[in-house]
Every structure is written in C-alpha cells, then in structure tokens.
Amino acid sequence: MQTPRIGFIGPGIMGKPMIHNLHRAGFSLAVFARRQAQVDELGLTDIQSYSSPSELASAVDIIISCVSDSSDVEEVLIGPSGVIHGIKPGTLVIDMSTISAEVTKRLASQLESKQASLLDAPVSGGEIGAINGNLSIMVGGSTTDFTRAAAIFAAMGENIVHVGDNGAGQIAKACNQILAAQTMNAVAEAYLLAQSANVDPAKVREALLGGFAYSRVLELHGQRMLDQNYKPGFKTHLHAKDLDIALDSAKANQIDLPGATLAADLLQRLLLQGDGELDSAAIAKIVGSG
Amino acid sequence: MQTPRIGFIGPGIMGKPMIHNLHRAGFSLAVFARRQAQVDELGLTDIQSYSSPSELASAVDIIISCVSDSSDVEEVLIGPSGVIHGIKPGTLVIDMSTISAEVTKRLASQLESKQASLLDAPVSGGEIGAINGNLSIMVGGSTTDFTRAAAIFAAMGENIVHVGDNGAGQIAKACNQILAAQTMNAVAEAYLLAQSANVDPAKVREALLGGFAYSRVLELHGQRMLDQNYKPGFKTHLHAKDLDIALDSAKANQIDLPGATLAADLLQRLLLQGDGELDSAAIAKIVGSG
C-alpha cells in the first residue's frame, strides 16, 4: 500500500505544529491556507500549497481540517470552493476543529454521498500539546476510519480515544471544555474564599494539590491565577465559543447544565470587558467582582 | 525531652485508624470517647481511657480532637466537662475536626487564656487515607506549634501544609470541599451531556483523563458514577455540612460563591430525598433530575 498523501487545511496556531509533527513522521503533505503567509511561515519547501480546498481535495487521499468554528468547517468542506467539489471517492476527512456535534453529523452524511467519510477528532492540550505532539484526541466515526487514521493521530497526540460514532468526539470535547471551565471557576471561588479570610491562596493550593481536590486546572491554571499571568494558553474567546457549542448541544438534547451555564456566563462577562484575548484562567478576574 | 503524652478525643471512623497509626509510631496515648464501646473497639490494652475531656486534659501534654462539627468541638473543649477545665499550661490542642474558621479562632483565644494553644488541622483523604496514614493535613496556628506537632502529623499524614494562622487550616479545608463538590457536579454534568447525545460516558471519561480536564474527582468519583456505586467513601450529609461551613465563612467574609452554592443545593436535595448516607458522588443522581 502506498503512503497516503495528506492535505491539511488551516495551518494556524494549532495547525502549524501539527503539520511539523506529521512532516517529521514522514507523511507526504499538501496544504491550503487562506493567507499565503501562513504557508510561508511553515518553512517547509517540500509541501505543495493549493489555492482552494476543492483543488487540494482532488490531489490527496486524506484531508485534515483544523479551523476555528462550525461555519469555517462548513465553508472549507461544503462551501462554493469546498473540499466536497473536488473530493475523490474513498477519501477520509479528519476534522480536528472544535465544532458542534450536530453540524458534524450533517457534514458526515454529505461526504458520504460522495463516497467519502469523516472523523471528528477535536483535540485538547493547546499549542504546547500540538508542539510536543502529545495532544489528547477525541475521535468520532467508524472503527475502520479510526484504524486508518491511527498512524496520523499517533504523530500528533498521545491520549487518542475512539469515543463513538460521528459527533461523539465533539461531545467529548464539549465535556472537556465544560469540565475545565467549571473547575477554573471552582478554583477561583476557593481562592476568593481564602483571600476574603486573609489566608494565602498559594498555601491553600499547595495543601489541596495532595488530596481529592487535585486537578490539572488547580495545578496549571491555579498557578496562573496566583501569578495573575493570563498570557494564553487557551484564549477566553475560544473557550467561550466552546461553551456555547456545549450549551447548544445541551439545548438540542433537552438538558439543563447549570454549572456549565454559570461558567459560560463568567467567560462572557470577561469577553464583554475586553479580555477575550487573555487565557481563560482570567475567569478569576470576574469571580468575586460582583 | 520526654516524649509527650497524647490525649485523643473521638475514636470514630477517622479517629480509630489515626490512633492506630500514632500507637504504631510509638506515641504514648490516652483516650476519651462518648461510648465505652469505641474504646474497646480500638483493641489496644495499653491505652488508658478517661471519663471526661477535662480529666483527660489533666493527664496529657497534647490533646487531639477529631469529632463531627463545630458544636461537638465546643462541647469537648469548652463545655461543662470540657478540656479547658482540666488543661495544664503549655498544652497544645490539635483539632482535626472540620469546623468553622470563626469558631476555631474563638476557641484558640479561650485556650490562650489558660496558657494553652490550638492548631486547627482538618484532614482530607477519608477513612482510607486515615488507615494508610497518608491524609492531607491543612494546618492553622503558630509556627512553633506546627513544629511541635510535626512528628504527630507525620504519623498520620503525608501532605502536611502549614497554611497560616488559626482558622487558615479550616479555610483550606473549606476550599477543598467546595472544589471537590463543584468538580463532582461538573463531572456529572459532562456525563449528562454525553448520555443525552447517546455517547458513552465511560469513553468520555477515558478521553478526558489524559488532558486538562483531569482531576482526581473525574478519576475516582467519575468511576463511582459510572458504576452507580455510592457506598461511602465520604457521606453526603458530611459533605453537605462542610459546604454549609464554607458558605457560612463566605457570608461572614461578605463574598458570594455561586458555583459552591449550586453544588451545596444539589447535596441538600440529595439529603432531602433520603440519600444522606450515600457517598457524595451520588450528586450525579440529582444532576439532570429536573
């Protein structure tokens, strides 16, 4: 079997290091970017770039998309110059963006009409995880496609889980984002309680790291909050967008998530005061601000 | 310097294994229990028991109290037959109960009038942690007293942090309990979202354990929720009591903790439906129940 050629759509903050890791692993790559500068910044002269997603699609066997939200994925996959207009039968599309599970399922069935298939494969771990090749990858789709993509995922991530059918990867990511945001809020509330009682939050964190209240959020974001260091990391406006997706899914499935709604409201308030570019650990600026 | 003699008040579920670990470490021990059966159950024939906290206090150098709540601690320390009526000058009282920081500070100043001092030293880690001698111990009080108690703490715990002055240990414990409860609610909401979208929560947990959403609550209580195994562990009525203490402290310090309040309401609903004896991970029974 010949090595598949991969077409990558979206060499952004996450996409760029992911492309580098795929390149390092020996994959044959092509790329589409909205701006030529993004292609140049890759600094990889053996990667061909195409001027539209449909042209890219006609030249590769596997397509990876890694863009910002549902509408961007719809544009690159089914828009006027989208993948679907050039795609070859048997192509596998791996969407690593964080988008709605409902949109994912619609896209999968549209690709199916072209004898192509989709994996939703959103990631967690941020730019650092993308650079170090140890992203968590949450995958929805068929077992056949998951197996087909195994070597590709292994080049970019470490904790790679086949969660279920199409959309299940996105649901897992939504769960990840509501859990992370609520834990950040909980850490911020704990710090607020400590400060209000004239107790050093750094000492509280140290005491709590060894027990049942341990979380990576307490360890990593808890330290950011102490340092008031909100250089992203993962930006507030993206975390807010992800919670919107999660709450839309909750609504579509007729459930109420009051804790996630509270955390989403705090991120929205942070956005409204102009802090959308800060790391979402800046939720601590809002907690207790009345 | 002679080895101090320790008087232990409250050989209950937590106290019993703590006494065993102190005994194993070679400390000379005496005990007060409300019921003789608790003394007998210790099965340690070389431990003398006293019929009141005041009598115990007159016979020892260090007193450890480990009882249920603020009123119990007040009763054994300053009640009609309390420690304060028999205490020798220079005695150190170590209160390992989980109670209010405000009550702790009052008790400390009352003991001070008898030339005795107090450490608040609530623990995290449950019965298992008490048995294995790896409790987290959150300590409030003077550095001198913390140093004096170091070997005693080392016999019972592993993560031992001097958080600050009297009350600071209790504030750290309150932070621990609001963080744990909110994280449990967040895990339960994540599972609810997954289930509502026909996605396997066990797979979601697996995917999330490797990333930023990792917490010990997701690992331990998340597994309990999947198994619907609510054998305690840490009982709902005790966790609810601890959140009451945390929210009382918040109120006393004029702050609002909406996430902790939400989690406290869920635990109260669980109590009201008669599930107070279940592990507090049973919060998952309430989340999504309307």
Domain locations along chain B: 5-165, 172-287
Q: What pairing do the DSSP bridges indicate for beta strands B135-140 and B123-124?
A: antiparallel
Q: What is the mean pLDDT of residues A76-80?
A: 98
E strands in B45-120: 48-49, 62-65, 92-95, 117-120
Chain A residues touching residue B136 (CB < 8 angstroms) = 207-208, 210-211
DSSP B52: S
Question: Which of B64, B50, B54 lies closest to B88, judged by CA?
Answer: B54
| CATH architecture designation of domain A5-165 | 3-Layer(aba) Sandwich (3.40)
- The reply to whether domains B5-165 and B172-287 share a CATH topology is no
Please judge whether A176 and B213 are an interchain contact, meaning their C-beta atoms are less than 8 angstroms apart: yes
State how far the Cα of B25 lies from the Cα of A118, in Å rounded to an integer.
Answer: 61
Q: What is the CATH number of domain B172-287?
A: 1.10.1040.10
Helices (H), A52-200: 53-58, 70-78, 101-112, 126-132, 143-148, 150-156, 168-196
Q: What is the pLDDT along chain B (290 residues), one digit of tens a residue?
A: 567 999 999 999 999 999 999 999 999 999 999 999 999 999 999 999 999 999 999 999 999 999 989 999 999 999 999 999 999 999 999 999 999 999 999 999 999 999 999 999 999 988 889 999 999 999 999 999 999 999 999 999 999 999 999 999 999 999 999 999 999 999 999 999 999 999 999 999 999 998 899 999 999 999 999 999 999 889 999 999 999 999 999 999 999 999 999 999 999 999 999 999 999 999 999 998 86
CA distance B172 to chain A (A): 5
Beta-bridge partners for B159: B136
Which of B102, B212, B214, B238 would best serve as a mutation to test chain A binding (most A beta carbons within 10 A)?
Answer: B212
Q: Which residue of A has its CA nearest to B105?
A: A197
Beta-bridge partners for A160: A137
The answer, yes or no, to whether the previous bond of A12 is cis (omega within 30 of 0) is: no
ipTM: 0.96
User: What's this model's pTM, rounded to 2 decimal places?
Assistant: 0.95
Q: Which of B179, B206, B255 sits opposite A213 (nearest CB)?
A: B179
Helix (H) or strand (E) holding A95: strand A92-95
Annotated catalytic residues of B are: 173
Which of A135, A182, A212, A257 would best serve as a mutation to test chain B binding (most B beta carbons within 10 A)?
Answer: A212
State how far the Cα of A2 lies from the Cα of B150, in Å rounded to an integer.
Answer: 66
